Amino acid sequence: MDYPKSVPSAGLVNGKFVDENPLTGTPGSLIPAAWGNGVTQEIVNVIKAGDLTPDETQNDQLLEAIQSVAAKGWNQDLALPIAALSLPTIATADARLAVTPTAVSTSGGRVSIPAGVYLSIGQDLVSGRLGRSRTYVTTAWSSADLLPSASYFLRAQVIGGALTFYVQRGSLYDLPPESLKGTVNGASGGGFASTPLDMCLAWVMTGAPGSLPTIRTIYNRAQLTWTQTVNGSGVVYLPLDPHARAARLVAGNPTPAPNVVTSLSFVQSGWLGGNYSYLSPAATTPGNNAVGWANPASPYMCVLFSNNVVNDVSVSTVTASFDHAQSRSLWQSYQAEHTLGATNADSDELLLSMGIKGHQALTDYSVGIGVNFINAVNVHLSWELIR
């Protein structure tokens, strides 16, 4: 932007505007509309780049915007297309943020988060086109009173350069908005999975006034890999990321028990799954069951593997992928499609082979999928979830 030097009627003197001088009869400079609009637009662009909304009644927005943009320390060479940004992550051991519920006698309660937790989330730099990942540390935050008997989602996004937490009502079937951002205190639509620009932190369900809200915290990690070796008999839990779009479990007993049979099975009875296979040296061919492990008429524990022969070695693999038809996440497809007592597991594309189609325990999201092990000797489990 420069002075309108190419406009003779502007009346510049030495390249600058001058005032009218009634004593000498010298006319003042004129400001062409195109130039005035251009100057205004230049200022408005800076204000918007600072994540501010232009307001004609405020005279300090340009400075605030410059300070905001300078603090960001970015330029377009460092920015990425929004679709290329990584999903948000939380720097805790399990990639979840602690959320504390509080009961309120006159409402559905409140939720709060602690200070001092590092997380990474994308910031929209050129609206809808370019952004960059930023790292923030949380400050203590608490919601306003929530409505009784309602379903909320605790979310976070960058607003005005600052990490902002908010709640939005919604359901498990909500799709991401075109902007990839939720609506602060919105009445609906908040149940979509995390996007590069908006992090879903927890599912909050309120009850009657005075009751404590139920919290289902959500993992925010692009990939969750978990391994564990177990011995003896007991139960181990596979972490379940509600936003995972693919999952794989590999379980094996490289050191079989010398005088007893080792077995591994899901805790819940009555599960349905498909495409389940296992390898055992005692069998001439791989075991396989493409349509399900359990008969819903007489449910039993779904076995990952059981040696059947003392001193045998077995390896089992189960996999699942997202619902291609609806583009639902693992979390959403599980909620939308699982049917207790269904007789055909093949219809559940997402959970084909996972066995959780008939499992309706929401505690899985907080605790994990239970797996029983019996007479284990160095049985190794490798669990991978990809969002």
CA–CA distances in Å: residue 149 to residues 62, 169, 173, 185, 202: 45, 11, 18, 16, 16
Q: Is 44 helix (H, G, I), strand (E, B) or coil?
A: helix
Q: What is the mean pLDDT of each run of 10 residues along the chain (387 residues)?
A: 69 74 76 78 82 83 76 66 89 88 97 96 85 93 97 94 94 84 94 90 93 88 82 87 70 83 70 42 51 45 64 72 44 39 38 37 60 90 82
Cβ partners under 8 Å of residue 25, min gap 6: none
Q: Is 8 helix (H, G, I), strand (E, B) or coil?
A: helix
pLDDT of residue 76: 62
Model pTM score: 0.55
Cβ partners under 8 Å of residue 387, min gap 6: 87, 193, 194, 221, 222, 223, 224, 241, 243, 244, 245, 329
SS (H, E, C) 296-343: CCCCCEEEEEECCCCCCCCEEEEEEECECCCCECHHHHHHHHCCCCCC
pLDDT of residue 222: 66
- Residue spans of alpha helices (H) in the chain: 33-49, 61-72, 330-337, 364-367
Rounded to 5 degrees, φ, ψ at 342 are: -65, 150
The answer to whether the CB of 252 falls within 8 A of the CB of 377 is no
End-to-end CA distance of the chain: give it in Å, rounded: 46
CA–CA distances in Å: residue 183 to residues 8, 51, 123, 316: 50, 16, 16, 44
pLDDT of residue 256: 80
Token representation of residue 132 = 């960059």
Cβ atoms within 10 Å, residue 303: 16
The burial of 111, by beta-carbon neighbours within 10 Å (0-12 exposed, 13-18 middle, 19 or more buried), is given as buried
pLDDT of residue 323: 44
Whose tokens are 């007893």? That residue is 260
